[in-house]
Amino acid sequence: MPYEVGALNLPKNVKDLPKAKQSQWVSVFNSTWKKARADNKTPKEADEIAFRMANGVLKEARGEGKGVGGEIQGDGGTDVCICSSCGNKQKHDRGIPCVEMKCSKCGAKMTGVLKESDVENKLEKTNSLQSEKSDFKISDSLKAQENKSVNDKMWEKLRESKVKEIIDELPTREIAEDNKAKINDTIEQFMDAESSDELPEGLKEKVESAYVLLKEAVVFKTEGGVRYPKEAYAYVPDAAMPSTWKLRLWDKEKELTRKQIGAAAASFSPGGFRGQKVKLPREDVALVKSKIRAAYRKLGAKKDEIPRWIREGEEMRNYVNENGAVLIDEATADKLAKGIVPVRFLSPGFNSSKGRFYSEQSINDAVEVFEGAKMFANHPTKEDERNIPERRVQDWVATLKNTKLSDSGNAVGEAHINAGWLKEKVQNLAEQGDLGQLGLSILGIGKSLKTSIEGTKTMLIEGILKGKSVDFVTEPGAGGYAGLMESASSDLKDLDIIGLDDLKESRPDLIEILETEFKTNQEKEIKTMAETEKTIEELNEKVATIEKERDELQVKIEEADKDKAKAVAQESIKSIIAEADVPEVAKTKLLAQFADADSDEGVKEAVEAERTYLAALSEGGIVKGFGKTKEPEGDKDAVAKLKESRKANYIDEGFGEATAEKMASDYVKGM
């Protein structure tokens, strides 16, 4: 973990170092530790890497320090030496400590400095942060420090006065313009004081004020020109370092969307998101996936709609039974007099036993589901749990109201006391300084998942489904100790949580009844299904028979319709021919011609054609109306001409050539 100069928790060998060397060690350790965490190293791995780097730098910079507990040495690991008197720099002769070299200008002793490459790396890191849309320009001032000695007073002041931290973090903070102007002014004054041995009067206070303004500002990360807070990301290992944040869940409109959540989820898939798989410390993966699942649920996604590489194991329902505490600092006399006691009833992260880990979503859920929860005096006895699980009305002493999420992420609220004796008791406890002895314990239903977080096997509480009650108790917990009670080992059985294993153990007779009923119902269903299938088969056969009969009736109907139409047509044909002004022989011939007709269409035309033919025949000298007349030899040509004439008449009347030919031939034959 990061250190501060002069801190009591510094390693013993570092505490013994001069202040400048101690400051150098802390600076190297902290920057290396943060980079290691950003590279997905575990806290333990980051510590090991940072210790090696910080101790290694001390060993290299032998020209001005003791290494780690040794005698003062020259700087065999630097590129240049600098005069402690006039500031002159000259090339370091490898193998000769800087303190044994003399200045070529004034003859004073030389000291060692950091390698130029190390200085450049520090400058590049600072300037890269400066490029993130900040109007705070300090790169030129920092570059001017490039060749300064590690002992240089300006760098020492920069580290000790928190200015370096302000410079590094300013581009990642959302600060009001007037406050930003104050910070810029403070930095400029600090830079102007570079040549002073001491900081100008009042500047230290200004730096402290600027530091407070910085820390109070919202931290953000810029992506695609849009600033996002830490709440927009699923992975936030260090809230103060946006560069470590990963897996954004918000879109550019700063809202949760399926598309953006899907991109974060895809980073865990075998193929990654656009070919890139996210790299996270192994102990953080479960919690990050939990945040992504919670984001999906906020958008109403069902379990099977969440990608399988984000789902982890089978979720369970368990009791939430954690201890909370009275918020002593907020329990004012005025509030207590009104019977209002500020309380914290659930905290995020591990409980004290580390058997449970409460996600941010579970805390948010708790704020919602415990609003208005009844608060009782003391836990119920086992007998009460069996006989009066709804609790006694006389034990109801308060109601939990105004629940909310505190700035530190805890679920907090106010206990509004309705019992006079308890109101008097809490005031007496407060006056005697014993209010901290009054605690509370919540009971609810949680959704959990067995997993490993930060290398610890635990039960991840992904959400709180139901708040049942809150009890005042005499032993307050520090953030909770009980966690989720396994339902199989609890005397309290609740339909919201009881599982099959619990049922088998406590009510085997009921299991037997259920199994028998299930078997009976299954047999009934099978029998009903068989009967239904048989009925369907019989109905299908009936349908086929009916369809056949229908088709046969349809044929008969069509034939009857045709016969009816033919009969009607024949009546009409006979009527038309009977009324025609032609000889009987011609009528008989016409009736024979239309004997099979089912329509009187063309009859009138045929009668007219007959009449025209007879008229033409009488003009040719042939006797009409006396049967066939033997044609004179010389009249064959006349008959042929008559046939052709008749054919032409039929064609003119609209008959086809073949039909006209047949009608003309029949006409001549019937004469």
pLDDT, residue 387, reads 63
pLDDT for the residue 74: 38
Residue-wise pLDDT tens digits, 567-620: 898 889 988 888 888 888 888 888 888 888 888 888 888 888 888 877 776 655
Please check the confidence at residue 543 and state whether its pLDDT lies above 90. Answer: yes
Compute how many other C-beta atoms are within 10 angstroms of the C-beta atom of residue 25.
26
- Range from 100-114, 280-294, 540-554 carrying the lowest mean pLDDT: 100-114
pLDDT of residue 220: 84
What pLDDT was estimated at residue 84? Answer: 59
136 has a pLDDT exceeding 70: no
Residue 369 has pLDDT above 70, yes or no: yes
For the cut 50, the answer to whether the pLDDT of residue 73 exceeds it is no
Distance from C-alpha of 640 to C-alpha of 632, rounded to nearest angstrom: 13
CB-based contacts of 293, cutoff 8 Å, min separation 6 = 306, 310, 311, 462
Q: What is the pLDDT of residue 160?
A: 54
Per-residue model confidence (pLDDT) at position 381: 63
Q: Give the pLDDT confidence score for residue 117 in this predicted structure.
A: 44
Say whether 241 sits in a helix, a strand or coil: coil
Planar angle of CA 174, 175, 176, nearest 5 degrees: 130
Which 3 state secondary structure label does DSSP give 631? coil
Section 108-125 average pLDDT: 50
Q: Which one-letter amino acid corresponds to residue 363?
A: I
Lowest mean pLDDT among 371-380, 409-418, 521-530, 609-618: 609-618
pLDDT of residue 398: 93
In this prediction, residues 116-126 reach a mean pLDDT of: 42
pLDDT top residue among 537 and 206: 537
Torsion-angle region of 265 (φ positive above 0: left; ψ -120 to 50: alpha; else: beta): alpha
**What is the mean pLDDT of the segment spanning 406-435?**
89
How many angstroms separate the CA atoms of 463 and 365, rounded? 6
Give the per-residue pLDDT at 278: 87
Give the pLDDT of residue 312: 65
How confident is the model over 139-156, as a mean pLDDT?
Answer: 44
Residue 460 · residue 286 · CB < 8 Å: yes
Q: Is 636 a residue whose pLDDT tops 80?
A: no
Write out pLDDT tens, residues 467-499: 888 888 765 433 333 233 322 233 444 555 566
Please give the pLDDT value at position 487: 28
What pLDDT does 339 receive? 92
Highest mean pLDDT among 95-109, 161-175, 206-220, 347-361: 347-361
For 207, other C-beta atoms within 10 Å of its C-beta total 22
Share of the chain above pLDDT 90, in %: 11
- Cα separation, 131 vs 124, whole angstroms: 11
- Answer with the residue of higher pLDDT: 281 or 634: 281
**Percent of the chain beyond pLDDT 70?**
73
| CA–CA gap between residue 105 and residue 109 (Å, rounded) | 11
339 against 274, higher pLDDT: 339
C-beta atoms surrounding 640 within 10 Å: 11
Q: What gap in Å lies between CA 81 and CA 101, rounded to an integer? A: 8
Name the range with the highest mean pLDDT among 94-108, 145-159, 401-415. Answer: 401-415
**Averaged pLDDT, 635-639:** 68
Is the whole-model pTM more than 0.75? no
| The pLDDT of residue 509 | 64
Per-residue pLDDT band for 127 (boundaries 50, 70, 90) equals very low
> What would the two tokens of residue 617 be?
């025949």
Left if phi > 0, otherwise alpha if psi is -120 to 50, otherwise beta: which for 597?
Answer: beta
pLDDT of residue 197: 58
Q: What is the DSSP string of 599-626?
A: S-TTHHHHHHHHHHHHHHHHHTT---SS
98 touches 108 (CB < 8 A): no
Adjacent-strand bridge partners of 375:
398, 470
Rg of the chain's alpha carbons, rounded to an integer? 52
- Residue 404 is predicted with a pLDDT of 92
pLDDT at residue 139, rounded to an integer: 42
